[in-house]
Every structure is written in structure tokens, then in C-alpha cells.
Structure 1
Amino acid sequence: MTRRPLAPPPINGPRFNEFIVSPKVRVIDQDGENLGVMYTREAMEQAQAVGLDLVEVSPNADPPVAKFLDVGKFKYEAQKKANLARKSQKTQEIKEIKMRPNIDDHDYD
């Protein structure tokens, strides 16, 4: 009986470093400059040389876009943005009335 390889743990938020599954990514450095399309391993090595992580910011693009960022700071800013959006959203309040047979038409008007 052979064992299946261990699956990576589920990640909350964007994929980063070794959790990026795409073989090639479009890389943007910490200053916002486009470094072009390169292999994920090569991009991770460059990010580690700078002291940052390689974070996948747009996974649905072709190829996916990855950026040199600090993962903790990126998650913190995303959480703050979500909290602000949740705080500023409006909820609609619905007014209810009870319809009974004994109430006349002019009471409903």
C-alpha cells in the first residue's frame, strides 16, 4: 500500500514563495518595475536576495503576476481594507406591517 504525498496546508490569502504552483510568473519588484516573465524558482531567489517574499497578486492572469512584498504586511493591509469596506457598507432595513381582516382600507393608506 503506497501513501499519497502530503498536500500543502490550506492557505488563507494569497499564495507566496513555494506555494505558487505556476512554473512561470510575471515579476514586479518592490519599486513597481516590471522585471518580465521568469521561472518561479528564479523569481523566489531574487526576492530572497532582496529580503522579501514572492507574493502572487493576480493568480488569474496569464502568466500569473507576482510581486516582491512582505507577506505579513500585505495580509495586514488587505485585512484593514476589508474591515473598512465592511464598516462603510449600508444595511437595508425592511419595515413590516401586519395585514388582518378587521383593518379597514383607509388604515392601510
Structure 2
Amino acid sequence: MKTDKKRARLNEDIESSEVRLIGSDGSQVGVVSIEEALETAQRDGLDLVEIVPDAEPPVCKVMDYGKHIFDIKKKNALQKKKQKQTQVKEMKFRPGTDRGDYEIKLRNLVRFLENGDKAKVTLRF
């Protein structure tokens, strides 16, 4: 069975005969047979997840895979929320704009750019 590169192999999908096992508490158990690793995961009511498939033998961890995916999605959503949204500030000019109004609008444009916002200037006739 072929799996996505983004999705880790779980439980019976792991094809190796021996794995380096990491316990559910994060402790190194050592190199064990795949049957013993699956038995450990089932006894704890958790999943056996292949973390590093390219290692020899592959590194597997006993964890709750659903909770792990939920935590990753939650962390990604929090990072996305923390990203600063750049705003586009628009300044409109007309041919009849007086000098004082022009200077105020120009000063505001400079302030917007210094704050890191994008500025859009519209000349309306």
C-alpha cells in the first residue's frame, strides 16, 4: 500500500520487521520487533506511528495519532493567527485638493509607509 509523503504510516502499515521504539512517555525503549511494538501500542490503547521512515531501523513512537494531528493543526492555526496582516491604505486626490489638505494627506501617506502598510494613491478627475 502506497501512502502520502505527508501522512505518517500507522500500526500495520509499517513494513519493517524491526523498529526503534519510543514509548508514549518519550523514553527510548530500543530496537524491538514490529509485533512487540504493535503489542505495546495496543496495550496502551494508542497508535504506533512511524516518525523517521528513512532511518535504519525506522523510528516509531507510541502516541495517540488523532490527538497528534489535532495539536499540529491547532499550532498551525495559532501561527497563522499571529501573522501580521498588511493593510492597503488608500488616499484619494482630486484636482481641486487644496495645498493644506494635500500636505496632510502626504504626511499620512508617509506615516502609513513607515508603519509597514501598503499605500494606494488614487487621482480622481
Give the shorter-chain TM-score range: 0.5 to 0.7
Deviation at 1:29, TM superposition (A): 0.8
How far apart, in 1, do the equivalents of 2:52 and 2:82 lie? 26
Partner of 1:19: 13
Asked whether 1:38 is paired with 2:32, we answer yes
Q: Which has the higher strand share?
A: 2
C-alpha deviations, 1:41-67, integer Å up to 9, x for none?
210011111211111122222221111
- In structure 2, runs of 5+ residues without a counterpart are 87-116, 120-125
Q: How many residues align structurally? A: 92
Report the CA distance shift for 1:8/1:61 in structure 2 as closer, same or farther (over 3 A).
Answer: closer
> What percentage of residue pairs aligned between the two structures are identical?
43
Runs of 4+ that moved beyond 6 A: 90-95
Calculate the TM-score normalised by the size of structure 1. Answer: 0.64
Partner of 1:84: 78
Q: Which has the higher helix share?
A: 2
